[in-house]
């Protein structure tokens, strides 16, 4: 195992602690690590995944069938792209239609939350002993830098309850697990409380009663203990432990940790994103992209008044999807505007998806049930031919008529759009190499720019 | 029907005859088994030494008492020793105390829990990743505990698993899963009763053969053909799921005596065939899976005993004699082929007694070698010239933190089902890794160990009962307090320079100028140290 060039040497570590103990602020040489990534002119692309937990209804978002008995009460609105129409409850997004590529022909056989979530997130079905990693892990591994102060994969307010395996880094190991902001454990169905309190990096700071001088003193004591043991036990486990601590301390102490502090942002901008966990989460995602984090996912899993799994609208579909759209629309539209204004949209891919769609037929509770046969996802931003629609469903929404898209093909497209070769392999835990996107998959040329 | 009074009298007589509080004198068979274990341990050392001599490599010295007890406890009962266990062991002047501690640990409930957890994770890896499947695991855990508590021979345990009757009655099934007789039915259910899943998993776990690739095509590097894969799967060919696709809760039924299987997606029908090419001898009325179990656990099966022995070796040494442990192939030659053969032979001839094998391994000098090698670049790990450093499993880490910090521990079973408990969330960060000798630590793990509420509470001078007790004990001076914290976390006494360094820090009071807070700082540092975090 090699030590990266930017890894702290023991002497530097001691100097760090000594600087703290003597009452000085963070030593200047640490800050150069944080800025290195952001200012790099050869910065690679980034991906923001907007994950819609529960299976969003395509019939009421991007593939409406007004006039048909399956259509429901929503109206379609025109967008800034002639021929592209979608839900009236996404008006601000409609203005950004020129950035969007709608994929209306997703089709799978998986209608169970657990399996489908796993499938969409990893590109593989859960089977046997192989622990497939999600694309957040595989793509951030290719795009990120192990010596960066910020971790390469950040997950904002995830809800892993129904498919915990899809939220682990799988065979890539804990180094590729995401840093979680807003960890609610395995709660679901509870409206998220105060977003300021929720959107915190878990364990980023010691409990309030431990002040900086004491923290410094503890770290120095720890360093004293490590020295002898690591020297006598060369090898991966001890080095990895030490390295993880060094990176964690760097994250705690340097400007990097300021990335998570939304109070820096102008209040008007925060209003435009929406004062809720998802809206502020999207704002956080933009900040992280600016600071060189290559993969961020933001989950929309609840709105006030919804006690289920967000988009899993088996009942009262139309009220709930309206509420969800009212959170989704400002957040997503502002994110695209914001990225665009900062010159980041060309190199940032934004993916909108859930694990499946919903039935065209409306059930007796005014809801729609799981439906994997024909549903929609959206790609926008860097690497994507905006203002396009790929694939078509039948007039009743029950089947795909043109260009069905499989999950492997979709994820291959995502990889290609951020400049990663989808056929690249990683070694799995059963000795078989596994590609980022399943063998035989092909990116969809028509949506790539 | 003999009167109850008779039974009571017999019971009393039995109790008075042999005081139950004295150590039961080992029977003759048990004595012989222990002598054989000692002899086998010596043989292990001879084989290892022979290869070391041939490669001109010096072994590390034998580990000291504290290191040995910590390692043995982690490996046998899944946690570090407590302060009192360590003190007692260090103080004991006896020459056979290491052997006695092996017996003590094998007899303790911790052994049963530890190996049940290990085998539950092997049989039901799905339950760690999918909470719906975790509900299946309660009954299989109970079955495993019974097997290990009764020291059921390993071949019989595997046979029970392979030949388990299916339960097709849905009512019965759910009732039994929750409350009924312990049974490993969950193993079949989690694989949805699919013959290909069952064949692949049983081959990997019990034969050390990775068949998965051969499911769809002839193995590119190995010897297994698609034909052989489906021949093995055909033994499970009669099992049917009664639910719709992929439902792990659907009841399973079996078409009796089915011996063939159609390869999915083709017209090809394959007959049940053993992996080593032998033709099954179908006895009249013999169940298909019984025939498989007979072949699998037979004394002359070339895979079974070796795979079992190799897996247990890897548990204690971090790597197997064949590595990876479930991939016996031309590519992965055994590092010590005669040793592997000998261990397999003796395991079988001693009735596949798991404890016998554990004794032999842990009594060997090889197991007791220090993890510190005199040379700066340690020799190849499969020479076993030193004990490699190993990462801890999820359960080992959590149990060790509980012991070291004296944190009240909710019933471990309840913890597995209380998804949102702080304990479960903490533990979920430390998922098991297959290559323990290359264990990786992540940033979120480091943050959790440094800053989480659990650690904060455990290292608070007042909120932590253990720390408060150590801080306020009138019979301890500063050096004594430091020593107690070292024993609690690292299972050893501090070296002179460590003691001096910390004593001075505490007397100065640390950053808060308060000796009690300073002691808490020392405890925090010990809990976050690499030496605590790893098995070495």
Strands A357-358 and A375-381: unpaired
Other Cβ atoms closer than 10 A to B479: 14
Using alpha carbons only, how large is chain B's radius of gyration in Å?
26
CA distance A55 to A324: 12
Residue to substitute from B441, B482, B494, B535, interface A, most A β-carbons within 10 A: B441
Provide the chain A residues 385-414 that lie in CB contact (below 8 A) with chain B: none
User: A107: closest CA among A371, A324, A425?
Assistant: A371
How far apart CA B285 and CA B342 sit, in angstroms, is 36
Evaluate if residue B466 carries a pLDDT over 50. yes
* Contact criterion met (CB < 8 Å) for B448 and A429: no
Residues of chain B contacting residue A206, judged by C-beta atoms under 8 Å apart: 450-451, 456
What is the pLDDT, as a whole number, of residue A28?
Answer: 36
Please indicate whether, in this complex, the C-beta atoms of A226 and B530 are within 8 angstroms of each other. yes
Q: Is the pLDDT of residue A49 over 80?
A: yes
Scanning B450-479 for CB atoms below 8 A from A yields: 450-453, 456
Question: Is B434 in the A-facing interface, judged by CB distances under 8 Å?
Answer: yes
End-to-end CA distance of chain B: 59
- Mean pLDDT for A366-388 is 96
Nearest to A298 by CA among A383, A414, A289: A289
Phi, psi for residue B56 in degrees, rounded to 5: 55, 45
Distance from the Cα of B83 to chain A's closest Cα (Å) equals 20
Assess B201–A contact: CB distance below 8 Å, yes or no: yes
pLDDT at B53: 96
Interface contact B441-A213, CB threshold 8 A: no
- Determine the pLDDT at residue B415: 61
Nearest-Cα residue of chain B relative to residue A206: B451
Mean pLDDT of chain B, nearest integer: 87
Residue spans of the domains in chain A: they are 10-447
When CB atoms are compared, the residue of A174, A214, A236 closest to B512 is A214
**HSE-CB of B167 using CA atoms within 13 angstroms:** 20
Residue A208 pLDDT > 90, yes or no? Answer: no
Q: In Å, how far is B33's CA from the nearest CA of chain A?
A: 36
Are residues A222 and B528, on separate chains, in Cβ contact within 8 Å? yes
**Residues 316-335 (B) with a CB less than 8 A from some CB of A:** 324, 327
Q: Looking at residue A139, what is its pLDDT?
A: 97
Instruction: Tell me the domains of chain B and their CATH numbers.
Output: 135-144+152-289 (no CATH), 394-533 (1.10.3130)
A427 touches chain B (CB under 8 A): no
pLDDT in tens, B397-417: 999 999 999 887 765 656 666
Whether residue A251 and residue B443 make contact (CB cut-off 8 A), yes or no, is yes
Whether residue B212 lies within 8 A of chain A, CB to CB, comes out as yes
Please report residues of A whose CB lies closer than 8 A to that of B213: 432
Burial (CB count within 10 angstroms: exposed 0-12, middle 13-18, buried 19+), residue A13: buried
| Rg (alpha carbons) of chain A, rounded to whole number | 23
Provide the pLDDT for residue B417: 66
Reply yes or no on whether the pLDDT at A3 is more than 70: no
Across the interface, of B377, B450, B498, the residue whose CB is closest to A248 is: B450
Contact A237 B246 (CB under 8 A): no
Closest to B322 in 3D by CA, of B336, B312, B334: B334
How do residues A66-95 score in pLDDT, each as one tens digit? 989 999 999 999 999 999 999 999 999 999
**B23-52: average pLDDT:** 88
**Given the DSSP bridges, would you call strands A179-181 and A392-393 parallel, antiparallel or unpaired?**
unpaired
Phi, psi of B521 (to 5 degrees): -60, -40
Give the gap in angstroms from C-alpha B217 to the nearest C-alpha of chain A.
13
pTM of the model: 0.86
The 10s digit of each residue's pLDDT in B368-377 is 999 998 887 8
Run of H or E including B44: helix B28-55
Band of the pLDDT at B281, cuts 50, 70, 90? confident
Question: Would you call B441 and A185 a contact, using CB atoms and an 8 Å cutoff?
Answer: no
- Name which of A163, A202, A233 is nearest B389 (Cβ-Cβ): A233
B425-464 confidence digits (pLDDT tens): 787 788 888 889 999 999 989 999 999 988 999 999 999 9
Nearest CA in chain B to A221: B525
Sort out which chain B residues have CB atoms less than 8 A from A175's CB and list them: 440, 442
Which of A21, A174, A214 is opposite residue B442, by nearest beta carbon? Answer: A174
Query: A10-447 in CATH: which number?
Result: 3.40.720.10
How far does the CA of residue B194 sit from the closest CA of chain A (Å)? 11
Q: Write out chain B residues lying below 8 Å of A224, CB-based.
A: 501, 525
Distance from the Cα of B129 to chain A's closest Cα (Å) equals 4
Does residue A387 or residue B283 have the better pLDDT? A387
Residues of A in contact with B534 (CB under 8 A): 233, 237-238, 241
- On whether any CB of chain B is under 8 Å from the CB of A3, the answer is no
Nearest chain A residue to B389 by CA distance is: A237
Nearest to B294 by CA among B286, B395, A214: B286
Show Cβ contacts of residue A263 under 8 Å, excluding neighbours closer than 6 positions. Answer: none
What is the least distance, in Å, from the CA of B169 to any CA of chain A?
Answer: 24
Residues, chain B:
536
Residue B216 to residue B208: CA distance in whole angstroms? 20
Distance CA A418, CA A433 (A): 22
Q: With 0-12 CB in 10 A as exposed, 13-18 as middle and 19+ as buried, what is B113?
A: buried
Q: In this complex, which of A205, A238, A244 lies closest to B446 when CB atoms are compared? A: A244
Tell me which of A273 and B215 has the higher pLDDT: A273
Residue A226 has pLDDT above 70, yes or no: yes
CB contact under 8 A, B389 and A251: no
Choose from B123, B222, B442 for mutation: most chain A CBs within 10 A. B442
- A217 to chain B, any CB pair closer than 8 A? The answer is yes
Mean pLDDT of A184-211: 78
- In terms of C-beta density within 10 A (0-12 exposed, 13-18 middle, 19 or more buried), how is residue B13 classed? exposed
Which residue among B130, B378, B434 sits closest to A164, beta carbon to beta carbon?
Answer: B130
B440 touches chain A (CB under 8 A): yes
pLDDT of res. A29: 38
Instruction: Report the pLDDT value the prediction gives residue B36, as an integer from 0 to 100.
Output: 95
- For residues A353, A357, A360, A363, the Cα torsion angle rounded to the nearest 10 degrees is -120
pLDDT the model gives residue B268:
86
Cβ burial of A232 (10 Å; 0-12, 13-18, 19+) is middle
The predicted structure's pLDDT at residue B138:
81
Residues of chain A neighbouring B372 (CB-CB closer than 8 A): 232-233
Q: Are A416 and A427 in contact (CB under 8 A)?
A: no
- Our measurement of the distance from residue B280's CA atom to the centroid of its chain's CA atoms, rounded to an integer in Å, reads 33
Chain B positions touching A230 (Cβ under 8 A) are 530
Q: Give the pLDDT band (50/70/90) at residue A325.
A: very high
B174 pLDDT more than 80: no
Between A255 and B304, residue with greater pLDDT: B304
What's the confidence (pLDDT) of residue A368?
A: 96
Write the residue in A206, A217, A240 that is nearest to B511 by C-beta. A217
Report yes or no: B159 at the A interface, CB cutoff 8 Å.
no
* Gap between the Cα atoms of B440 and B533, Å rounded: 11
Q: Do B521 and A217 touch (CB under 8 A)?
A: yes
Determine what percent of chain A falls in helix, strand and coil, rounding each to the nearest 5.
40, 15, 45
**Which positions ≥6 away from A53 have C-beta within 8 Å?**
A159, A299, A300, A301, A309, A310, A311, A312, A354, A355
The answer to whether A222 contacts B529, with C-beta atoms less than 8 Å apart, is yes
* A/B interface, count of CB pairs below 8 Å: 192
Which of B143, B172, B176 is closest to B158 using CA atoms?
Answer: B143
Residue of B66, B70, B124, B129 to mutate for A, most A C-beta atoms under 10 A:
B129
pLDDT value at residue B287? 83
- Residue A17, pLDDT score: 40
Q: How far apart are the CA of B23 and the nearest CA of chain A, in angstroms?
A: 40
pLDDT at B217 over 80: no
User: Which one of A7, A125, A203 would you mutate to disrupt binding with B, by most B Cβ within 10 Å of its Cβ?
Assistant: A203
> Which long-range contacts (C-beta less than 8 Å, at least 24 apart) are formed by A411-414?
A411/A123, A411/A135, A411/A436, A411/A437, A411/A441, A412/A436, A412/A437, A412/A441, A412/A442, A412/A443, A413/A379, A413/A443, A413/A444, A413/A447, A413/A448, A414/A47, A414/A135, A414/A139, A414/A349, A414/A351, A414/A379
Give the chain B residue nearest A171 (alpha carbons).
B433
- At residue A393, does pLDDT exceed 60? yes
Nearest Cα of chain B lies from the Cα of A253 at a distance, in angstroms, of 12
DSSP H or E run through A400:
strand A400-402
């Amino acid at each position: 195992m090699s030590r990266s060039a930017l890894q702290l040497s023991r002497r530097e570590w001691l100097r760090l602690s000594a600087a703290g103990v003597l009452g000085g602020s963070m030593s200047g040489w640490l800050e150069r690590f944080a800025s290195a990534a952001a200012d790099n002119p050869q910065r690679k692309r980034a991906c923001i995944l907007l994950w819609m937990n529960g299976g969003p209804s395509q019939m009421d978002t991007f593939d409406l069938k007004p006039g048909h008995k399956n259509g429901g009460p929503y109206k379609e609105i025109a967008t800034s792209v002639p021929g592209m129409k979608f839900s009236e409850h996404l008006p601000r997004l409609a203005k950004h239609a020129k950035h969007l590529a709608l994929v209306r022909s997703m089709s799978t056989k998986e209608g169970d939350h657990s399996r489908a979530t796993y499938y969409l997130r990893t590109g593989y079905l859960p089977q046997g002993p192989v622990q497939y990693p999600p694309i957040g892990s595989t793509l951030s591994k290719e795009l990120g830098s192990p010596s960066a102060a910020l971790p390469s994969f950040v997950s904002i307010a995830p809800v892993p309850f129904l498919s915990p395996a899809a939220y682990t880094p799988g065979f890539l190991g804990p180094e590729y697990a995401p840093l979680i902001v807003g960890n609610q454990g395995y709660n679901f169905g509870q409206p998220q409380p105060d977003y300021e309190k929720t959107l915190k990096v878990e364990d980023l700071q010691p409990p309030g009663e431990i002040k900086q001088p004491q923290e410094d003193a503890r770290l120095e004591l720890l360093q004293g203990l490590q020295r002898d043991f690591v020297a006598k036990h060369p090898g991966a486990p001890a080095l990895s432990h030490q390295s993880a601590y060094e990176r964690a301390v760097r994250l705690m102490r340097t400007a990097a940790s300021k990335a998570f502090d939304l109070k820096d942002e102008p209040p008007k901008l925060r209003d435009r994103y929406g004062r809720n966990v998802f809206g502020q989460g999207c704002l956080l995602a933009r900040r992280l992209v600016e600071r060189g984090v290559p993969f961020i996912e933001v989950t929309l899993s609840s709105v006030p008044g919804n006690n289920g799994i967000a988009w899993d609208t088996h009942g009262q579909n139309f009220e709930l999807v309206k509420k969800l759209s009212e959170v989704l629309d400002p957040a997503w539209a502002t994110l695209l505007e914001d990225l665009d204004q900062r010159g980041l949209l060309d190199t940032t891919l934004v993916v909108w998806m859930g694990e499946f769609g919903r039935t065209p037929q409306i059930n007796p509770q005014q809801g729609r049930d799981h439906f994997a046969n024909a549903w929609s996802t959206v790609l926008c931003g860097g690497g994507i031919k905006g203002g396009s629609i790929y694939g078509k469903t039948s007039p009743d929404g029950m089947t795909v008529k043109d260009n069905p898209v499989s999950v492997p093909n979709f994820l291959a497209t995502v990889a290609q759009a951020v400049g990663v070769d989808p056929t690249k392999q990683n070694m799995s835990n059963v000795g078989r190499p596994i590609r980022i996107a399943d063998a035989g998959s092909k990116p969809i040329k028509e949506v790539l720019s | 029907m003999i009167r109850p009074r008779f039974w009571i009298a017999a019971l009393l007589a039995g109790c008075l005859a042999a005081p139950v509080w004295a150590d039961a004198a080992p029977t003759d068979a048990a004595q012989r088994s222990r002598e054989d274990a000692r002899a086998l341990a010596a043989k292990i050392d001879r084989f290892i030494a022979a290869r070391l001599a041939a490669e001109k490599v010096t072994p590390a010295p034998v580990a000291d008492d504290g290191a040995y007890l910590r390692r043995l406890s982690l490996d046998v009962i899944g946690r570090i020793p407590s302060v009192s266990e360590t003190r007692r062991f260090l103080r004991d002047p006896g020459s056979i105390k290491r052997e006695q501690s092996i017996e003590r640990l094998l007899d303790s409930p911790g052994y049963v829990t530890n190996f049940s957890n290990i085998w539950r994770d092997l049989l039901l890896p799905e339950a760690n990743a999918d909470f719906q499947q975790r509900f299946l695991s309660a009954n299989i855990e109970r079955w495993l505990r019974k097997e290990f508590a009764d020291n059921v021979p390993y071949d019989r345990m595997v046979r029970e698993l392979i030949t388990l009757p299916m339960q097709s009655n849905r009512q019965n099934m759910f009732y039994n899963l929750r409350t009924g007789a312990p049974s490993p039915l969950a193993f079949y259910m989690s694989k949805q009763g699919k013959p290909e899943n069952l064949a692949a998993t049983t081959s990997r776990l019990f034969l050390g053969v990775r068949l998965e690739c051969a499911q769809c095509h002839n193995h590119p590097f190995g010897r297994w053909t698609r034909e052989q894969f489906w021949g093995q799967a055909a033994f499970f060919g009669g099992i049917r799921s009664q639910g719709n696709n992929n439902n792990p809760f659907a009841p399973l039924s079996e078409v009796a005596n089915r011996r063939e299987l159609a390869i999915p997606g083709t017209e090809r029908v394959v007959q049940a065939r053993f992996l080593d090419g032998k033709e099954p001898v179908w006895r009249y009325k013999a169940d298909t899976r019984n025939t498989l179990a007979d072949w699998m656990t037979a004394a002359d099966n070339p895979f079974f005993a070796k795979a079992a022995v190799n897996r247990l070796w890897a548990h204690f040494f971090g790597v197997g004699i064949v590595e990876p442990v479930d991939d016996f192939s031309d590519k992965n030659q055994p590092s010590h082929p005669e040793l592997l053969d000998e261990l397999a032979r003796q395991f079988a001839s001693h009735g596949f007694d798991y404890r016998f094998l554990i004794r032999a391994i842990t009594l060997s000098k090889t197991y007791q070698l220090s993890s510190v090698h005199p040379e700066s670049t340690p020799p190849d790990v499969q020479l076993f010239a030193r004990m490699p450093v190993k990462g801890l499993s999820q359960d080992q880490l959590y149990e060790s933190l509980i012991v070291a910090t004296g944190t009240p521990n909710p019933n471990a079973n309840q913890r597995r089902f209380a998804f949102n408990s702080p304990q479960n969330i903490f533990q979920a960060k430390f998922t098991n890794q297959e290559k323990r000798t290359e264990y990786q630590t992540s940033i979120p793990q480091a943050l959790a160990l440094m800053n989480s509420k659990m650690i904060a509470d455990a290292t608070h001078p007042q909120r932590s009962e253990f720390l408060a007790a150590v801080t306020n004990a009138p019979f301890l001076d500063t050096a004594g307090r430091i020593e107690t914290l070292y024993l609690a976390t690292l299972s050893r006494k501090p070296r002179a320079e460590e003691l001096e360094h910390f004593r001075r820090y505490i007397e100065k009071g640390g950053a808060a100028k308060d000796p009690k807070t300073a002691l808490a700082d020392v405890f925090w540092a010990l809990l976050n140290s690499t030496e605590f975090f790893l098995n070495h």
